[in-house]
Amino acid sequence: MNEEVLQELDKAVDIISSDEEIYVGIITGIGKTFVAGADIGAMKDMSFNEGVKFSEYGNSIFKKIENCEKPIIAAINGFCLGGGLELAMSCDIRIASQNAKFGQVEANLGIIPGFGGTQRLPRIVGIAKAKELVYTAQIIKAEEAENIGLVNKVTKEALLDECLEMANLIATKGQIALRYAKNAINNGYEMDIDKGINLESNLFGLCFASEDQEEGMSAFLEKREAKFINNIKKVNSSLEGNV
């Protein structure tokens, strides 16, 4: 996980976001590793200012992944450590192979997680478990990661096939609705319940300004499969500014 990899991730997310024919993104690694961590050699001699800058850059990319309007799945095929785990946690859904291993291992290097690990990990697994994992720099197996809610699923099948099956299922849904659902979940989670419900109500209302809502409900009443247009340009953009 170095600056070059971060730049490539940045470009990939831009492609996913801008291409209207892409409904779901999948991020995975090659071989036996998802991401084994940061490039320690490149980090060793960083100054305070360089460390802050590197952290801010990585966080900006992972925040872009988290805020991408389209769902992104992490297909975790092996070691998922340090910055790799932080990358996975910025994705919407995490599916792991049986041999995947997870750890926020930065304390072994005399540093803390710098790409959002101290913020996302407690939100996903709870503050007590997050502190344990960060303080001990413990590496856990896929089964435990699933048990604590760090991953959605551990698969015995071919990992990419499993992820593609879920991606294809997501792609059959109303994409405008999924966009608003992601907005409501991500942003509402940071609000108090009243503000979150208000956000949800506004986004719920926006769904009724789309052709997908009409098609989805008509298909239900007519007992047929919906044929969503999935074109966000069909939504009245002037209404979106109120959310």
Q: Please give the positions annotated as active site.
A: 86, 106
Q: Which tokens hold the place of 167?
A: 């991606």
Q: Say how far apart CA 87 and CA 92 lie, in whole Å.
A: 11
Element (H, E) at 152: none
β-pairing, 72-76 with 93-97?
A: parallel
Neighbouring C-beta atoms of residue 71, cutoff 10 Å: 23
Is 68 strand, coil or helix?
A: coil
Contact assessment for residue 92 and residue 25, using Cβ atoms and an 8 Å cutoff: no
Other CB atoms within a 10 A radius of the CB of residue 123 amount to 13
* Torsion (CA) 218, 224, 227, 233 in degrees, nearest 10: 10
Q: How far apart are CA 69 and CA 234, in angstroms?
A: 16
